[in-house]
Every structure is written in C-alpha cells, then in structure tokens.
A and B are shown apart, each in its own frame.
Chain A
Amino acid sequence: MAKGKITFEDIEQTVNVPAGTRIIEVSEKIGAGIIYGCREGDCGTCITHVTEGWNNLTEPSVLEEKVLKENMASRHDRLACQAQVLGDCKVKPA
C-alpha cells in the first residue's frame, strides 16, 4: 500500500501514514497544535501551512478553495480536515 511521511513541525514528529489519510486524523492522535472546528471543511479553523511537499497532498476541492479564500489563507495553506496525504510533506499550524 502506498505510504507517505507527514511531519508536524510544531512538535517535531513524523508519522508514516497510508496514502489517503487526512491530516486531521493524524494530527489529532499525536496532539499536534492544529486547532479544529467543524471538521467538515466549512469553518476554516484548521488552516494548516504546508512547508514542504505541497504536491504530495490531494488537490483542494472547489469548496476547500472557497473556504481558504474567504479566510484569506496564504499560499500553500490547506484545511487539515480536507487535505489527504499522498506522499512526504511537512506542515505546521497556520
């Protein structure tokens, strides 16, 4: 099965995950500093900055793009509840 390594820079922890795992599923279990709200891509609370491996996450959906735009997210920001890991990447709370 395809795997990816996601590193949470705020707690300096890397996790090996099956491809397709959402960032939120991992960060919640290891207690990284990303904050959550609705968990369904609506509130924008879990905005996360991708520092490396931007292309190793699933493409944002139209809805995610909309929420990111509304929240004035900067380039390479994603919603942790939506973005799925496809390969190696590094993230930190936005």
Chain B
Amino acid sequence: MKKQMDVSCHRHAVEFADGVYWVGALDPTLRTFDIILSTANGTTYNSYLVKGSEGVAVIDTVKENFSDEFFSRLESEVDYSDIKYIVLNHLEPDHTGALPELMRRAPQAKLYISQRAVSMLKALLKPAADKKENNFDYTTVNTGDSISLGNRTLSFLHTPFLHWPDTQCTYLEEEAVLFSGDVFGCHYCDQRLFNDLVGDFRFSFDYYYAHIMRPFKTYVMDALKLIEPLKIKQIAPTHGPILRERPRRYVTHYRELSTSSLSREIVNDNKTLIIFYMSSYGNTARMAKEVSDGASDFDDVRVSLYDLEGGETEPFVDLIEEADALLFGSPTINGDAVKPIWDLLSSLVVINLKGKLGGAFGSYGWSGEAVPMIEDRMRGLKMKIPQEGLRVKLIPDDEELEACRLFGYQVASVLSGKKEQQDVIDFADLK
C-alpha cells in the first residue's frame, strides 16, 4: 500500500526545501471563511520557517486559535532564541493571530512588513489597558530590499492590494521558493500538503481567485510583472497546498484569469453598453428597447439588452465586469426598485466598477423612486452617472419613447467619446 504523507497525525515541522519548513496548521472543519466564502473541506493557515547560517526567519503565522499547533511545529525545529526575523506578508488576523504570542516568545526577533502595513500592525498590536504604548521594532521593506540569513537571502516584492493594501511576497533566492501570501492560495485543507499529492483542488483555487483577487485584477497584473521573471521551484502560499510540482502553471493561470476575454471578442477600441431591465406590464420593457435603439446609433458602441427575468446573476456579473456602461430599467413597486435589480447590484463586490458609466430609467405608477435609488447605488459603487435618469408615468407615449431614444443616444455618445468632455467642470455640476 502506498505510504501517504499525513501532516495531521503529527505536530512536527515539514521540510520541503533545504532548511525550509512548513509550520502551519490545518483547519479541516471550517465551512465558512470570513463570513463570505464557502470552504467545502476547510482551509490551512500556512506559516513557514527558513533556516540560515546566521539566524532563522518565520514567514507569517496562523489564526489565533491554531497557535498551539503552530508553536509545536516551530519548536520541533528551532529554539525561539534563534528566530532573528519575522516576515509578515499579509496582516489579516488569520495570518497574524499567533503573532503577539510569537513576539513574547521571541522578543529579539525583528518584524519585516510592507510600507502600507504599519498602521494595521499598530492596530493589531494595541497596548494592554494599563500601558500607554506598545513598543515593538519593525522595518518596512519594498521591492529590491532583502535580508540576509547568512548563507541565504530573503528578498521582498511589493505587491499591494492582493488582496489588502499591505500585501507583499517574499522570495528565497537560493532555493527559488516564493512565499506568496494569499496570492496563489486557496481554501483547501488536505493533510498531504503538496499540490502533487492532494486531491483535485482546481475548483478551490479558481473560487478563491474569483472572490479574493478578482476585484484587484490590475494589481494582479502588476504583481505578475515582478513574479514572472523569477526562477520558481516552489510557491508557498498562506492557504492551501504548497505548489511544488510545475509551479509556473499557477502563475500562468493567474495571468489568464486576470486577462480580459472581451477584448478578444470586440474589434478595435469599441465600447460595450449593457441594458438590464425588469418589466411588469411591458412599459419599462418598451422603454428599454428604445434606449437600446438610441444607444445603437454609434458604430463603435456594442449594445446588449437583457431582461433580468430570463437570466441568472452570476453570468451577468461576468458581463458587467467587462462592460463600459450599464443601464438599469426598473419599475417602481411600493416605492422601491424591484428585487432582481437589487440582487444584481448587490452581487458586484467581486468586481471593480470604478469609472464605468451608469444610468437608470423606468416606468412607474405613483411616485417613481426606483430610478434615483438605482442611481444612488451606482454612485456608491463609484460609477459615473453622465445622464440624469428617465422616468415615465405608466405607459410611455411617442414623445416619451423619443426621450428614451435620446437618453440611450446621450449615454452612448459619452461612451463613444463623441460628446466632448468639458475642459473644466464646475464642482456644482457634478452629481
């Protein structure tokens, strides 16, 4: 019978490169991470230990209630007095939970963090009630900085917003190991630890990217520019399997996931405008059709029209991510926009909407609050609303349908760049 690796049956450090150890913890029973993420088989909190001829570095720690397992694994390999450096690639509590206790046990160790991590570190290490200040020594590092452990060197890559402002990666040059923080991680708990031994974790890897890294695609691309030139033998992320078998493919996969697929579909610099609507008596639907026709007057604007009643949220989120402008048509029912509109507008947290154009329209019976409510939500999502929304009381007449065409035309004209942006805008005119 094949002898399987099983780190759950002991509490030792696991060496995976010369003098490089995994000292993390398994959390197999976790089913929801950070309120929002499903974790079908739990997760791991990966912490690492690097031994050099002149001292030891600990890279990241674990969630606080897994401290025992982390300290046991650490103690199996080093004395606390040998720890010279503590590198924190990401300060979220699932990686810094054991930090205060580690600092108590290894008071001589110096902290190495990114520039953006300082205020977070101070907020995490707040002094006890009886003390005014909490003194600790830290050094901020940037791309190009490194620390020496004697016969080996840890160098730093500044990779902000993956997925917090403070995030960075650390690279062990001599062994070509990239300690990547949450990048290339996933919530997947397997006692076999390495990507070539664990079960099929592709779903977990992609799911993690989609929920954690996707809103920061441009930052992923920036980070890849630093990571891709490195020689990489192993990637050691803070969650999920250590990637030692063909690690480069995960880097390539990140680039694929972060690259626009729409740009391959449309010609030149054409813009895309999507109109979503709901309609109970067909009035908002008629408006939507006219808005669409008006917007379609421009050759360089590709218009899509969707009835939300006939679709599901998730694929629409994919469409929205790559669209340049979004228009929502909703009737007003009891003073509000209808639920499918809100369902879609509340599902956009995984994508970046900043700077997209938005607009709203709809038919109403009494009061018509839906349109301004949708506009407010879009402004809250950092979208720009170039054209005031359009409301029609009950059935649109010819004049009102013409206004719908004009509304679509005007939004599309801003998108196509035909409507010249004013050189200087007055603050009072901004909405």
Contacts and interface: CB of A to CB of B under 8 A. Distances in A.
Q: Do A and B come from one complex?
A: yes
Interface of A: 5, 11, 13-18, 21, 26, 28-31, 33, 37, 42-45, 67, 70-72
16 contacts: A14-B423, A15-B425, A15-B427, A16-B424, A16-B425, A16-B427, A29-B430, A29-B431, A30-B384, A31-B354, A31-B355, A31-B382, A44-B119, A45-B165, A70-B118, A72-B142
Interface residues of B, number: 20
A70 B165 CA distance: 14
A80 to B, nearest CB: 14
A40 to B, nearest CB: 12
A61 B421 CA distance: 35
Name the prevailing secondary structure of the A interface residues: mixed
A43 B382 CA distance: 19
A72 B355 contact: no
A17 B424 CA distance: 10
Contact of B424 (A5, A28, A37): A5
B118 A71 contact: yes
Contact of A13 (B142, B165, B425, B426): B425
Given A5-B424, A26-B430, 5 more contacts: A13-B425, A15-B427, A15-B430, A29-B430, A71-B119
B140 A42 contact: no
Interface string B140-153: 10100000000000
Nearest to B424: A14
Contacts, number: 53
Contact of B115 (A14, A16, A26, A71): A71
A13 B426 CA distance: 11
Given A43-B165, A44-B119, A71-B118, A26 B427 contact: yes
Contacts of B423: 14
A41 to B, nearest CB: 11
Contacts of A21: 427
Contact of A72 (B140, B354, B424, B431): B140
Contacts of B355: 11, 31, 33
A42 B142 CA distance: 21
Chain A CB within 10 A, most for which of B165, B383, B384 = B165
A20 B156 CA distance: 40
Nearest to B431: A29
B116 A14 contact: no
Contacts of B354: 31, 33
A60 B351 CA distance: 34
Given A13-B421, A14-B425, A43 B119 contact: yes
Nearest to B423: A14
Contacts of A16: 424-427
Contacts of A70: 118-119
Contacts of B382: 28, 31
A31 B421 contact: no
A89 B235 CA distance: 45
